[in-house]
Amino acid sequence: MRIVIVGASLGLGRALLDGLRADGHEVTGVSRRAPVDSDAAWIEADFSRPNEAAARLARDCPPEIDVLIWNLGVWEPDAFSDSYDYLAQSAATTEALVALNVTGPLLTIQTLLPRILRADHRKIILTGSTSALARSGRPEVAFGATKSALNGLADALREGFRAHRLAVTTLQLGNLNTEDGLDVPRARAAARGAGTLIPVHDVVDTVRHTLALSGSAYIREIVMPAILDERF
């Protein structure tokens, strides 16, 4: 398959790129800067300026794309810590977060969807968060709101392009171990955090399963918290 991964240079995105390339897929990575340690096809695009980034993808992406994986997202500087304070967040921080987390995928999908619909497999995978789920137990307002927006985006795409057999999957992921890549054995990566962190290996295998489905089925949503996440 011809796969484009937005947010592919680090962490989960890099694991997806490396794992899917190893499976024989034709993968193009997208990030602000191309990593020096990868020989994959790469497009440099800065989604802090989503209009410019979408224009870069329109220019440089393949003419047909089987799968688009949106794996880009940012959160407030003090998110997921005891010091987080919604009232202390600057307007500039919130505006930048919304531009990248919401405007970015909207413009990217609008730009690339005609190329996806020309292809055989027609899949979009969105990396969401358990923070986007009802009663998630998280207080990060802007991050939670933008990840919830991805759910609305996915639902609307499914309805608008159902006749085109467009498969849209949202991955609602909990806390990840992004320090250990696929080069680290899964058991060792799973031991980090003692059950509170998900190894990227598990997410990569979940994406592999999603890609392997026939055109007559799709996975609408996957909720994947860590095993000891008390919120779930």
Q: Backbone phi, then psi, for 10, in 5-degree steps?
A: -140, 165
Are the C-beta atoms of residues 224 and 203 closer than 8 Å to each other?
Answer: yes
pLDDT of residue 216: 95
**Topology (CATH level 3) of domain 2-224:** Rossmann fold (3.40.50)
SS3 20: helix
pLDDT along the chain (232 residues), means of 10: 97 97 98 92 96 97 97 93 94 96 98 97 97 91 95 97 98 96 97 96 98 96 95 88
Q: Measured over all CA atoms, what is the biggest interatomic distance in the chain, rounded to whole angstroms? A: 48
Which H or E run contains 116? Answer: helix 104-117
Total residue count of the chain as it appears in this document: 232
Cα atoms found within 13 Å of the Cα of residue 50, Cβ hemisphere only: 19
For the chain, the structural domain boundaries read 2-224
- pLDDT recorded at residue 95: 96
Cα Rg of the chain, angstroms: 17
What SS3 state is found at 174?
coil
Contact criterion met (CB below 8 Å) for 68 and 112: yes
- DSSP state at residue 134: T
| pLDDT score of 45 | 96
Query: What is the structure's pLDDT at 189?
Result: 97
Run of H or E including 151: helix 141-160
Res 57: pLDDT: 98
Measured between alpha carbons, how far is 156 from 77 in angstroms, rounded to an integer? 30
> What would the DSSP string read from start to end of 55-76?
HHHHHHS-S--SEEEE------
Contact 147, 97 (CB under 8 A): no
Structure tokens at 142: 């802007």
Task: Specify the residue for token string 């994406």.
Answer: 207
| Confidence (pLDDT) at 130 | 95
Q: Which residues contact 200 (CB under 8 A, 6 or more apart)?
A: 11, 12, 15, 16, 176, 177, 178, 180, 181, 182, 189
Strand partners, 223: 172
pTM: 0.95
Beta-carbon contacts of 169 under 8 Å, excluding residues fewer than 6 positions away, are 123, 124, 125, 126, 154, 210, 218, 219, 220, 221, 222
